[in-house]
Structure 1
Amino acid sequence: MCQNIVGTENHVKSIRLMNAVRDRMKSTKRDIVITSGSFGEGLDMSGSDLDLMFVTAKDIEVYENDEDIKTDNNSSDVILSMETDDVKAGFAQLLVKHVKHTNPQNPCKYFEELNGKHYLSSALYKQYQLANTCSNSVIHGPCISDKEGMYDKAKCLHCRTWTSQASQWITRSNSSWPSYNVKQSIIKHGVLFVPIGVKGSPKEDIEWRISFSVGEKFLINTFTHTQLICYALLKILLKHVIATCIECENLLCSYFLKTIIFWISEELPQSIWKPENLIHCFMRCFSRLIYSVDYSVCLHYFIPENNLFENKIEGRAREILLGKLYTLHSYGWRCILFSDQISNIHVSMWMNHIEPHTLHTIELAKPVNSKLLYLAIEVSDSFEEDAIVYKRGIHQIVSYHQSSPKYMCTYYLSKLCGQYAQYVQLNSSRNNNKQQYKQYKSCLCTLLQNIYHDSVSGWLMLASFFYKAKQYSNALHIIAYSISKCTPEKVCLMDMSGSHFRFFDLQLSKKTSIVQLWKIMFIDSLKFAINSQLIPNELQMEIENGIHYISSIVYAYFLKMLCHYHLNNVIGCQDCLQTFQLVLAEKFLIENNRPLYSGAYNILGIALQLLGDNESARQAFMRSVDIYPNNEYNTAIKRLSFIGLM
C-alpha cells in the first residue's frame, strides 16, 4: 500500500533527480530556482500544490554582521544587515546599509523608514512581486499563488553565512543523524529570508522569516524510505482526516509534522527506521504530535527558542483538536484508514508481498498521472529567459556523465525548444534572403529537438512550421505520421485508465526509464505562446490574451484540413472535417479538461466557418461557450458576435 502512496525508493529518487535537473537549468545568475515543499523533497502527494522558491542571487545581499560587509567592488544593488533585537526568534528585520543608485529598477520602492532608519519591507516586496505576475495571482503567506491553489512562488533573499540564532544546532546532536558531512553542507549554504513577519507584530511589515528550506531538503534526502513513508502518512492523516473538521482546519500544517519527525530522527538511531518497524515508527511520530498539542509546544528544529505553536494552538480549538487526535490514536495504525486515499487501497497490501513487476508498473504510472510534475515541467514564457536556459541545457547534456540526468535534461530541453522556436521571426521585412534562410534553418533545427518529450506534439509543432512556410505537402506527411501515433493506448495528462496499466504490464520492460515512457506513451497538448510565429493565421485570435493550449489530436486534424484547404483539395477538407467531428463525438485522446474540450469545439467552428458553413459553425461556437463560458480566454464568444454581423 505504501508504494502506492509515495512510490518506490526509485520513484522518489527520480522525482528528486527531475527537480535537480530542472532547477539547475532554470536558474540564472540573477535568480536561483529551488523546487521546495513535499514535491521538492520527492513526495508526489495527491492534492498538493507546487512550491517554488526564487532566490535573489545578485540584486540583494544579506549579511548578519556589519564587519562582513564589503561595499567595494560589490556587484549587488542593495546590501542589507540583519537586526534581531526586539524580534521574535526565527525572524529578522533587514536594515538597508548600501544602495547602488544606478539601478534603473529603483529598489527604494521596497524601503520603509522607521526611527530614521530604512528597512526592506516584506509587505512592499510581496506587493511588487504580485504586480508583476498574472491577474490570476494572490498573496498567500510569503508566497504569490494562483487562485486555483495549484502553485506557490516565493521570492527569497539569501545570506551566505549561517545565522547565529541557529548556532547551537551545529553542536547539539550527538547522534549519528544528521551526519557531519550533511551538517557541513547545510551550514555552507547559509539561510534564506522569506517575506513574512510575525502575525500581529507592530513591525510585521518589515519583518522577514528566516527559512531553512534548503537545509530541510538536505535532511529529508537523508531519510530512509520508512522515515519518508511516516512523514507522508502523517501528512495524509492531517489533510484528509484531521483538517476535515472545521474547528481543526487551520490549526496544524505539514511543517509542524516535518519538525516533529526531525526531532525524533535526531533521537532515534537510523537502524530503527526499517520497513518492519514502520507501524511502530509511525505511531511514535503520531504520539509525539499529540504530546506537542497537549502541551502547546512544537520547537523549531534549528531555532528551539521559536515555539511554532505559540499563539496558534490554544483555547477551545485546541481542546477539539486534542480530542480528535486521541480518538484517532485509539485506533492504532488503522486510524489512517479514515482517509479515502488510503481506504481505497486494499489493507492486505500492508503486510503482503507485492510482485516486483507490479511495483515497477506503479513506479512508471505515478509520474504520468502527476499534476505536480506537469506543472513543474512548464517552461518560461520569456524569450530572453528561454534563450539562456536553452544554452544552459545544451551545456548540461554535454557535461552530464550519467545517463539518467542526461535523459532528463534532454526531456526538459525538448519541452523548451517548442517554446523557443515560436519566437524566431521567419518572415520579417527587415531581413534579407540570407538572414531569412538562416532563421529558417535555426527554427527548423530547434523544432527537430522538440520531438523527444512525447509521442506527438513535437512533430505537430514541426508540421505547423512547414504550414507557415507554405510547404503543405511536407506538413501533411508529418501530420499523417503524428496521427498514426495517436493510438488508444496513449495517455493524455492525468487521464490514465486500467487499459494503460495493462499496457504497461504487457509492453514495458523493467529497464524502461520515465523519460522513455513519456516518449512512448504520452501525448502532450500543444502550447502556443503569445505572439507565436508558428500558430496558423486562422488561430491568431487565440493568442491575443495569453498562452493557448490545443489538444494534439484536435490540432492534427485541423492543420490537416488547413493544408488541404490551401491546396484546393475539397474532398480532403471534407474527409478531415468528418474525422474531426468523429474524434470530438468520441472524445478520443482529448483530455478531461473543460478549456481544452471547449477549445476543440471552437476550432471545429473555425474550420466550418472557413468552409462556408456558418450555421454549423455557430452551433460549434455555442457548444464551446456552453462548456467553458469564459469571456477572457474563450474566443468562441467573440467569433459568435462576428457571425451575427454577417
Structure 2
Amino acid sequence: MDFLSENVYIDAGFQHLCESVFVRLCQIVGTSVQVAIRRETRNIEEMVERRVADNFDVIEMENGSIREGFRLEGSDVDIMGWPNNHRVICDMSQSEHYYAENKTLILSDSSESPPGFTLLELLTPTIYRVVKSACVPMNDRLYISSSLYRQQTQSHLFPGSIAHGPCESGEVGGLEYDIARCFACDFWPRSAMTCINRCHSWPDREVVNQIVRNECHFVPIGHPLGLHEHEEWSISFSLAEHKLVHSMNHCQFLTYGLLKIFLKEVIDKQSEETNKLLCSYHMKTVIFWVIQQNAVALWCPQNLLAGFWVCFKLLLKWMYEGVCPNFFIPENNLFLSKVHGSAQRKLFLELQGLYEKGLACLLQSPSIKSYITNVLYNPRLSICTNQDRMISECDHDKEFFNEIHRNISYSPKNLDHNIKYLHTIELMIGEPLTQYQVLMLQRSTADILQNTAFTLHNMYTNTGLNKQMYISDRMSCHMLKLAAKFGCISDMMYIAMFYCKTFRFREALYITEMIKVKLAQPGLMYRKHVDPERYTEAVGGQSWSTKMRQAVAYDIELNAHTCYINELTLEQQSVSHLLNIPLFVLLHFVEFLCNRHIDTTLAQTALENLQVLVHHDQRLYVHDLKRDISWEILGICQQMTGNLQAALYSYQQSITQYPLHKIQNATHMRIQDLHIT
C-alpha cells in the first residue's frame, strides 16, 4: 500500500476516497439529521428539568460523547450532578448576585494551584452533611476537600461501581457510566479569558457569548503535582465544550468521530504499555485547536481525510513536545500527569510509525478499512454523499422516537410538582422550537398528564369526600384519554391501569383488548424492533404525531412517587426513581388482575401467557435489564393464585437477575410472606 503515501493522494482519487469514508462515518456516527435529533431532544429535556428544579434539588446534566451526539459502540454515559443551592464565585464582588438565605456560597481560590485547578473555600453555612464532612481547615479558613467530597458522595448506584478519577464509574447492561458530583459556577473564570479573546474565526461571536453566559463546573479531582492534590478541584468546561461541538459543521463532527474511532481501533491497539494513555478528550482538544487555527482550508466531504491528517499531525507534534494545551486554559498541560517519560517516548514512536504509513494507517481500523479498499480496487465506484438518501424513513423515525423515549424520565413528587411541570411546558410551547423539540414537548405533556391523573386520584382515595372523589375521577380519566390521543400505543396502558385501580375491570379489559389489536399490527415499532417495509406501508409519509399514535410502543415507566397498581406498592417503595416494566408483561398482569374478579379461566390464561413470556422470551419483549421486575410480577400473580412453590421460584429468579430496580428488599419480604419452610 505504498501508493497511499501522503504525496500522491490527490492523483490517486483523494476526493473519491474522502467521500467513501464520509459515507461510512455517516453510517457509524450518524447523518446531520440524526445528530440533530439526539442533541435537540436531550436539550429540551434538560431545559424542562432546569426550569422545574427547586432550590434544594440536585441538578443533573448528561455529559460526554452521548450528549455531543455520538452513539458509537462502547460510548459511555457521563452525568454531572450538583446541588442547586450551592454556587461557586470567582471573587467576593460576585456574592452580591445571590441571597445568602437560599444559596451557599463557595469561593474559588486558584492562587496556589496549577492552571485549571483551584481550592474551594466555604464562605457561608451549608445544610448538607456531605459538604460539611468534606471540609478541612487551612490557613484559618474552611476548604472543601475534593478527595473527601468524592468519598462522601459515592452512591454505589449499581453493583460493582468504583471510584475512577473524579467520578463514580460502573457498567449496566454493557453500558459504562461515569457520575461526577460537582459544584456549579455562574461566572466564566478569569483564567479562561484568553480563550474568549482569541475566538476570531471560530466559534462565531454568538456562540462565544453563549459560552460566557453559561456556567462552568468544579469537579472533585486535584492535580497530582499540585501543592494540595487532595483538596484541589478541577475546572470543567463541559457546557462550553457542548457549545463548541454543536457549532461544528457535520464534516468537522465526523472528523472528530474518526479521531475517536482511530484512537480506539488503531492507537490503543499498538501496545499494552501505551494502551489508554490517550483518551477521547485529547482528540476533542486536537480538533478544537485545528478548527480555530484555520489549519484546514475547507471542511467538506471531499476533503475529510485532509482534516483528519492535519489533526493527526498536531497530535504527533504534541506527543513529541509532551504538551497538550487545554483549549480553554492553554497553560494547563493535559499530558502532564499521565503522558510522560518512557511511556510518552514509546507512544510517540508508535504514532510516528503510523504517520509514516500515510493514510494507509487507517487500514488498521476494522470500521473503515473496507471503505478504503473498495475505492482503491474500484476507482470508478459511484458514491452518493447526499445524507437524505443514506437513511430510510423507518430508520429516521426509529432514531427519533427512541431518542424521545430515552430522554423522558420525569419523576414529579406531588401534585404541585406536576402542575409546575405542566406550566413550564406550556410556557416553552410559545418559544422558538425545532420540529423535534415540539414533538418532544408533546410526548412530555402526555407523560406528565398521566402522572397527574394518578396523583390526583390517590389524593382523594378513602377521604370519604364523594363529590371531590367524583370530580377528581372525571379529571383523571380526561387527562389519561387526552394523553393517549397524542401519545403512543403503550400510553393506553395507563387508562387500563387506572380502570383496574378504580375497580372498573370490564372497562380495563376493553382497553387491553384494544391495545392487543394495535400491538398485533405488522407495522408496529416496539422499542427498536420493527419491520421497515411493513412500517412504511402502514404509516409512511404521515405526520410524526400520527405515526407515534398508531404504530409506536414502548415499555412502561412508573414514577416511584405515585401509586399506579396497588399490588406493586412494595416494589415502588423500593425504587428511588422509576419502575420500568416491559409492556407485554404489564399487559398480561393487568389482564390477570381484572379477570380474577370476572372470569377465573381467563385469569389463568393471562397467567399462563405471562409465564411463557417471562420464562422463554429471547429479549424481544423482555429486556435483560428488566427481568428482575418481570420475574417479580410473575411471582406476585402465582402467589395470588395460591401456587406458593411457583411463586417462590419466581421470586428467587428475580433476586438472581441484574438488580436494575433494586427491589431485592421487596422480594425478600414477599418470600417471607409465603411462609414456606
In 2, Cα distance between equivalents of 1:639 and 1:199: 50
- Superposed CA deviations along residues 256-277 of structure 1, whole A, max 9, x for unmatched, are 1111101100122775111110
CA contact (8 A) 1:421 1:443 kept: yes
Judged with a 3 Å threshold, the aligned counterparts in structure 2 of structure 1 residues 589 and 259 are, in CA distance, closer, same or farther, namely closer
CA contact (8 A) 1:491 1:589 kept: no
CA drift at 1:631: 12
- Superposed CA deviations along residues 321-357 of structure 1, whole A, max 9, x for unmatched, are 3344344445544544544555688975997216744
User: Is 2:641 the counterpart of 1:611?
Assistant: yes
In 1, Cα distance between equivalents of 2:43 and 2:299: 26
CA drift at 1:605: 4.1
- Superposed CA deviations along residues 541-583 of structure 1, whole A, max 9, x for unmatched, are 433422433211121122112211112x133224434444554
1:352 aligned partner:
383
In 2, Cα distance between equivalents of 1:321 and 1:623: 48
CA drift at 1:186: 2.0
1:555 aligned partner:
586
1:482 aligned partner:
515
User: Is 2:400 the counterpart of 1:377?
Assistant: no
2:21 aligned partner:
none
CA contact (8 A) 1:454 1:521 kept: no
Q: Which runs of 5+ in 1 are unaligned?
A: none
Map of 1:159-178 to 2, 5 A cutoff? 159-174=185-200, 176-178=201-203
Identical amino acids, percent of aligned pairs: 24
In 1, Cα distance between equivalents of 2:534 and 2:89: 56
Map of 1:123-202 to 2, 5 A cutoff? 123-130=147-154, 138-148=162-172, 150-174=176-200, 176-189=201-214, 191-199=216-224, 201-202=226-227
In 2, Cα distance between equivalents of 1:190 and 1:570: 60
1:298 aligned partner:
324
Q: Which runs of 5+ in 2 are unaligned?
A: 1-23, 376-380
In 2, Cα distance between equivalents of 1:629 and 1:156: 27
Judged with a 3 Å threshold, the aligned counterparts in structure 2 of structure 1 residues 266 and 146 are, in CA distance, closer, same or farther, namely same
Letter in 1 for 2:596: Y
Judged with a 3 Å threshold, the aligned counterparts in structure 2 of structure 1 residues 306 and 454 are, in CA distance, closer, same or farther, namely same
CA drift at 1:421: 4.6
Letter in 1 for 2:436: S
1:405 aligned partner:
437
CA drift at 1:182: 2.4
CA drift at 1:368: 5.7
CA drift at 1:477: 1.1
In 2, Cα distance between equivalents of 1:579 and 1:138: 40
User: Is 2:236 the counterpart of 1:207?
Assistant: no
Of residues 459, 466, 470, the one that matches 2:499 is 466
- Superposed CA deviations along residues 594-624 of structure 1, whole A, max 9, x for unmatched, are 2434544443444344334455556655665
Letter in 2 for 1:274: C
Of residues 325, 328, 334, the one that matches 1:308 is 334
CA drift at 1:76: 4.8
Q: TM-score w.r.t. structure 1 length?
A: 0.85
CA drift at 1:309: 0.6
1:112 aligned partner:
136
CA contact (8 A) 1:61 1:78 kept: yes
1:572 aligned partner:
602
Of residues 76, 98, 102, the one that matches 1:49 is 76
Of residues 466, 470, 485, the one that matches 1:437 is 470
In 1, Cα distance between equivalents of 2:372 and 2:454: 48
SS across alignment from 2:498: helix
- Superposed CA deviations along residues 404-434 of structure 1, whole A, max 9, x for unmatched, are 3221112233334445555442564445223
Q: Which moved more, 1:601-610 or 1:620-629?
A: 620-629
In 2, Cα distance between equivalents of 1:553 and 1:580: 8
CA contact (8 A) 1:90 1:209 kept: yes
Judged with a 3 Å threshold, the aligned counterparts in structure 2 of structure 1 residues 630 and 416 are, in CA distance, closer, same or farther, namely closer
Judged with a 3 Å threshold, the aligned counterparts in structure 2 of structure 1 residues 5 and 455 are, in CA distance, closer, same or farther, namely same
CA contact (8 A) 1:198 1:204 kept: yes
SS across alignment from 1:205: coil
Judged with a 3 Å threshold, the aligned counterparts in structure 2 of structure 1 residues 363 and 609 are, in CA distance, closer, same or farther, namely same
User: Is 2:300 the counterpart of 1:274?
Assistant: yes
CA contact (8 A) 2:460 2:472 kept: no
Judged with a 3 Å threshold, the aligned counterparts in structure 2 of structure 1 residues 427 and 505 are, in CA distance, closer, same or farther, namely closer
How many residues matched?
A: 634
Of residues 513, 522, 525, the one that matches 2:555 is 525
In 1, Cα distance between equivalents of 2:157 and 2:645: 40
2:574 aligned partner:
545
The two structures, once aligned, show a CA RMSD in angstroms of 3.7
CA drift at 1:138: 4.8
SS across alignment from 1:151: strand
Judged with a 3 Å threshold, the aligned counterparts in structure 2 of structure 1 residues 230 and 503 are, in CA distance, closer, same or farther, namely farther
SS across alignment from 1:379: coil
SS across alignment from 2:273: helix
Judged with a 3 Å threshold, the aligned counterparts in structure 2 of structure 1 residues 302 and 400 are, in CA distance, closer, same or farther, namely closer
Map of 1:207-286 to 2, 5 A cutoff? 207-244=232-269, 245-268=271-294, 272-286=298-312
Judged with a 3 Å threshold, the aligned counterparts in structure 2 of structure 1 residues 404 and 548 are, in CA distance, closer, same or farther, namely closer
Letter in 2 for 1:409: L
CA contact (8 A) 2:166 2:221 kept: yes
Of residues 425, 429, 436, the one that matches 1:393 is 425
In 1, Cα distance between equivalents of 2:38 and 2:343: 37
CA contact (8 A) 1:400 1:406 kept: no
Judged with a 3 Å threshold, the aligned counterparts in structure 2 of structure 1 residues 308 and 481 are, in CA distance, closer, same or farther, namely same
CA contact (8 A) 2:563 2:572 kept: no
Letter in 2 for 1:251: L
CA contact (8 A) 1:35 1:51 kept: yes
Judged with a 3 Å threshold, the aligned counterparts in structure 2 of structure 1 residues 637 and 120 are, in CA distance, closer, same or farther, namely closer
CA contact (8 A) 1:82 1:92 kept: yes
SS across alignment from 2:96: coil
CA drift at 1:233: 1.1
CA drift at 1:531: 5.9
CA contact (8 A) 1:122 1:197 kept: yes
Judged with a 3 Å threshold, the aligned counterparts in structure 2 of structure 1 residues 593 and 95 are, in CA distance, closer, same or farther, namely same
1:15 aligned partner:
38
CA contact (8 A) 2:525 2:535 kept: no
Judged with a 3 Å threshold, the aligned counterparts in structure 2 of structure 1 residues 128 and 618 are, in CA distance, closer, same or farther, namely closer
Judged with a 3 Å threshold, the aligned counterparts in structure 2 of structure 1 residues 344 and 556 are, in CA distance, closer, same or farther, namely farther
